[in-house]
Amino acid sequence: MPLSTAAPQAPHKKAPTAPSAPKIIFRTDGRSETLSLAAGESLLYVFFTQHVGGATNATAGTPTPVAPATAAVGDAKDQELKFILQGRQAHIEVIGIDVARTGAAKVKLTIEHAQGDTRSQAQVKSVLGGNAHGEVHGLIKIDKGADGSDAYFAHRTLLLANAAGKEQPHNHTVPALEIEANEVKAGHASTTGTFDIMDIFYLLTRGLSEEQAQQLVLEGFVLSALEKIADVTTREQAIKAAETRLAQLQEIR
Amino acid sequence: MPKKTTRRTNNNSTSATTASSTNPIPTARPKNIQHPQEDYKPGFHVQEKSVFKTQKGLSEDVVRQISAHKNEPTWMTDFRLKAYATFLKKRMPPWGADLSTINFDDIYYYLKPVNQQGRTWNDIPDEIKSTFDRLGIPQAERRYLAGVGAQYESEVVYHSISKHLEDKGVIFMDTDQALHKHPEIFRKYFSTIVPPADNKFAALNSAVWSGGTFLYVPAGVHVELPLQAYFRINAEKMGQFERTLIIAEEGSSVHYVEGCSAPSYSSESLHSAVVEIVVKKGARVQYTTIQNWDKKVYNLVTKRAQAFQDATMFWLDGNLGSKITMKYPSVYLMEPGARAEILSLAFASDGQHQDAGGKAIHVAPNTTSRIISRSISKRSGRSSYRGTLEVHRGATGVKSHVVCDALLLDKESRSDTYPTMKVEEASATVEHEATVRKISEEQLFYLQSRGLTEDAARGMIVNGFVEPIVKELPMEYAVEMNRLIEMEMEGSIG
C-alpha cells in the first residue's frame, strides 16, 4: 500500500450545545397532524393510538373474543404524523404507545430532516393482544445537504399469544429510511415477539405467579418509555393513560 | 499467467470493423470499473455473428417463432403464449426504481449464435472463445471447475460436465436442453415456484425465456465444487431472458455461482431472468450472483426458492453493475426446520440505482431466517434495500434477524431502506435493524496515522465493511470483488 507523508487531519468534534426546554404535546385522540420545527426548537410529542372497530365489549374473565373483528385493516383510520425539522439545532422526540386488545390502528410517522444539525429520536411501543391489528410505518427522511443530522427510530412490539387455535394479534411494521446526505447518523430498529421466557422464569423463581410475572413485564415494557419524560405533569399524565389501557387489556386476559 | 496484449485498430472510429474470425478487435471504450484481469476492459464486444434473430419487438408471432426454432413440445408453446397474454395485461410495478424509459418494442428478444453446442473449449468458434478468455476463465482453472456453462446471446454455447458429476447422476445443462432431455422432471417443477402471473417481468420471461441453467442433484449427493456459469449480452438492444431451475433432492447439497458481464452500447439492454429453486428435506443450496452488467442495462429479476423440512437456502447476491437493478431473492420456508440466509451486497455509483434486498416468508413453524445487507452509494448512486419478512398464522417459534447497513460516500449519494415486517404469530421473534452512515472519521484518521493515503484507507474500510458477505464467496470471486471495490474507491475523493 502506498505510504503517505501528509499529516492526517484529526476528526472534528463539535461542542455539545445546551438543550432548550422542550415544548410538549400530548395526544390520545389519534389525530393526524404535521408540525414544523424552527431553528433551536425542541419538541416532545407523546401520543397514544386509537384502535377502530373490533368487538365492542368483552366481559371480564372470558377468553379472547371469538367473534370476528368488525373492522379489517383497511377500515383503520390512518393516523398520519409528520414532523419537519426546518431549522438548525431543532430537536424532536416522539414517544408513541399502542396498546389494544381488538380493532385496528394504522400509524404513519414521518420525520424529515430538512436542515442539518438536527436531531430526532422516535420510539413506538406496541402491545397487541386479543385479535388486535397494529400497523406502524416510521419513515426517517434526511434531505440533501442536511449534514449533521442524527436520527433514530425504534419500534418494539409485544404480542400476547392466545390459546392455540384461537385468533391471534397481528403486527405490521415498516420502518423506512431515505437518506440523501452523507454526514449523518441514521438508524432504526424493530423487534416483534412475546414475553422473553427467561424474564418470566426469573420472576417465577422469585415466587410470582405466571400472570403476575407477565403483568410486571408488560408494565415495564410500556412504562419504561414514559418514565424518562422530564416534565412531571406530562409524565404522570402519560403513565396514567398507559395504565388505563393496560387495565383494559387485562379484562379479557 | 502469460500476459495478454490488447490489440487496437489505428482509426478511432467506434463503429465495428469487420473482424477476422481469429482476431476480434475491441471497439468500445473502456469504462470506470476495471476487471482485475489486466487487459480486460468491460465494454468491449466482438463483431456479432448471428444465425437466427427474431425481428425487433414483441408479438405473439415472435413468441411462436422462438418456440418453433427451439422445437419445443406443444405444452411449452402454449405456456409461452399464455404468459405473453398475461404480460400484456399486467401493469408495471408502481413501486421501486424508475422503469419509465424501457421501450419493449425496441428490443430483440431472441438470437442464436451457433448451431451446435460444443463439448469442450476446442469445439467453440475462436471469436466466441476469445470472449470467454477475456472474461477470465484461465485454461489452468478449468480442471478445478466441475462444470462451466456459458451463455452467448440467448443460447448456452458451451457446457461441459465432468464425468464425476454425471456418474453421480447430477444433471447440469442449459434449460433448453433439459426441456428435451428430461421432460418429466422439467415439467414437474417448471413455473411452480414463480408462475407467469407473479409479476409483469416474470410473465415476460415466461413468454420469451431462452437459456439459463437446469441443475438437478439427486438425493444424498453433495457437489463439493461450485458450479459456475457466465452470461453475456452482446448484440445491440439484446434482452436476456434466461430461466434457471434448480432442484436439490433430499439430503443433497450444491453451490451454484453466476457472474455476468456485458459490453458497452449506446442503447439500453434489458435483463429479466427468473430463477426457481426447490430445496427438499435436509438439502442445502447456495446460489451466488456477482452482477456487473454494463451501466446501461436494466436488470429486473425474480428469484425465489422453496425450502422444505430442515433444508437451507442461501442466497448471496452481489450487485455492482447495471443502470437499474430490481431484485429481491426470496425464500419460502414451507416446513419446520427450514432456514433462509440472504446476503445482499449492493454498490451504486453514478447514475445507478440498486434496488435490492430479500424476502423471507415463514409459512411453517420453527423456521429461521437471517438477512444481511451491505450497500454502498458513491457519487450520485442510489442504493435501496427493500425486504419483506412475513410470519404466517400457525408459524409458531419463528426466529428472524435482519441487519441492513449502508455507507454513503459523497454528498450526492442516496440510500434508502424499506423493510416490511408482518407478524401474525405471537411466539415469533423478529428483529430488524438498519444504519446509514459515512466512513468514520476516526477510522480514517487512525489508518492515515499509520501511513496510508486517504484513498487506500477508504478502500480498506470499505472492504472491511463488505467483509461479512465477501468472505462467503468462492475465492476467485472474493479476490475480484475486493479489487473491484478498491478500484471503485480510487479517485472517490475530489
pLDDT tens track for B81-122: 999 999 999 999 989 888 888 888 887 787 665 544 444 556
Per-residue 3-state assignment (H helix, E strand, C coil) for B313-350: EEEEEEECCCCEEEECCEEEECCCCCEEEEEEEEEECC
Query: Could B414 and A2 be called an inter-chain contact, meaning their C-beta atoms sit closer than 8 Å?
Result: no
Which residues of chain B have a CB within 8 Å of the CB of A170? 422-424
At residue B237 the predicted structure's pLDDT band, cuts being 50, 70 and 90, is very low
- Mean pLDDT, residues B202-217: 92
Q: What is the pLDDT of residue B117?
A: 42
- pLDDT tens track for A204-249: 999 999 999 999 999 999 999 999 898 999 999 999 999 999 988 8
- Mean pLDDT, residues B455-482: 85
Query: Could A8 and B445 be called an inter-chain contact, meaning their C-beta atoms sit closer than 8 Å?
Result: yes
| Spatial CA neighbour of B41 closest among B159, B148, B182, B135 | B135
| Spatial CA neighbour of B278 closest among B255, B307, B254, B242 | B307
At residue B16 the predicted structure's pLDDT band, cuts being 50, 70 and 90, is very low
Which residues of chain B have a CB within 8 Å of the CB of A10? 445
Which residues of chain A have a CB within 8 Å of the CB of B422? 170-172
Query: Could A180 and B432 be called an inter-chain contact, meaning their C-beta atoms sit closer than 8 Å?
Result: no
- The residue of chain B nearest to residue A132, with distances taken between CA atoms, is B424
Interface probe for B, chosen from A127, A182, A197, A200 (most Cβ of B below 10 Å), is A182
Q: How far is B256 from chain A (nearest CA, A)?
A: 33
Q: How far is A233 from chain B (nearest CA, A)?
A: 33
**b/e A219-242 (16+ beta carbons within 10 angstroms → b):** eebbbebbeebeeeebbebbbebb
Which residues of chain B have a CB within 8 Å of the CB of A180? 413-414
Which residues of chain B have a CB within 8 Å of the CB of A11? 441-442, 444-445
How many CB pairs below 8 A link A and B?
143
Which residues of chain A have a CB within 8 Å of the CB of B416? 176-179
Helix (H, G, I), strand (E, B) or coil at A203: helix
Helices A232-250, A210-226: crossing angle, 10 deg rounding: 150
Q: What is the pLDDT of residue A62?
A: 37
Query: Could B445 and A177 be called an inter-chain contact, meaning their C-beta atoms sit closer than 8 Å?
Result: no
- Mean pLDDT, residues A31-38: 94
Mean pLDDT of the residues in chain B: 79
- CA angle, B222 as apex, B217 and B224 as ends, to 5°? 115
Q: What is the pLDDT of residue B356?
A: 95
Q: What is the pLDDT of residue B123?
A: 54
Which residues of chain B have a CB within 8 Å of the CB of A183? 438
Query: Could A172 and B442 be called an inter-chain contact, meaning their C-beta atoms sit closer than 8 Å?
Result: no
Residue B389 bridge partners (DSSP): B360, B421
Which residues of chain A have a CB within 8 Å of the CB of B445? 8-11
At residue B48 the predicted structure's pLDDT band, cuts being 50, 70 and 90, is low
Q: What is the pLDDT of residue B386?
A: 95
Q: How far is A153 from chain B (nearest CA, A)?
A: 10
Which residues of chain A have a CB within 8 Å of the CB of B427? 161, 193-194
Please name the member of A8, A173, A186 whose beta carbon is closest to the beta carbon of B436. Answer: A186
- Mean pLDDT, residues B193-207: 95
At residue B294 the predicted structure's pLDDT band, cuts being 50, 70 and 90, is confident
- The residue of chain A nearest to residue B420, with distances taken between CA atoms, is A174
Please name the member of B393, B433, B445 whose beta carbon is closest to the beta carbon of A168. Answer: B393
Alpha helices for chain A (secondary structure H): 197-205, 210-226, 232-250
In DSSP notation, B75-86 reads HHHHHHHHHHHH
Number of alpha helices (DSSP H) and beta strands (DSSP E) in chain A: 3, 11
- Stretch (H or E) spanning B266: none
Query: Could B430 and A12 be called an inter-chain contact, meaning their C-beta atoms sit closer than 8 Å?
Result: no
Q: What is the pLDDT of residue B262?
A: 39
Query: Could A187 and B411 be called an inter-chain contact, meaning their C-beta atoms sit closer than 8 Å?
Result: no
Calpha distance B75→B73 (Å, rounded): 6
pLDDT at residue B12 is higher than 90: no
Half-sphere exposure of B237 (CA within 13 A, CB side): 15
Which residues of chain A have a CB within 8 Å of the CB of B448? 4, 8
Side chain identity at residue A49, one-letter code: T
Lowest pLDDT segment from A89-103, A125-139, B476-490: B476-490
Residues 158-217 of A with CB under 8 A from B: 159-162, 168-194
At residue A68 the predicted structure's pLDDT band, cuts being 50, 70 and 90, is very low
A202 backbone dihedrals φ, ψ, rounded to 5°: -55, -45
Query: Could A184 and B437 be called an inter-chain contact, meaning their C-beta atoms sit closer than 8 Å?
Result: yes
- pLDDT tens track for B55-83: 888 899 999 999 998 899 999 999 999 99
Please give the distance of CA B402 from its chain centroid, rounded to a whole number.
22
Query: Could B430 and A181 be called an inter-chain contact, meaning their C-beta atoms sit closer than 8 Å?
Result: no
Please name the member of A8, A182, A183 whose beta carbon is closest to the beta carbon of B449. Answer: A8
Q: What is the pLDDT of residue B253?
A: 97
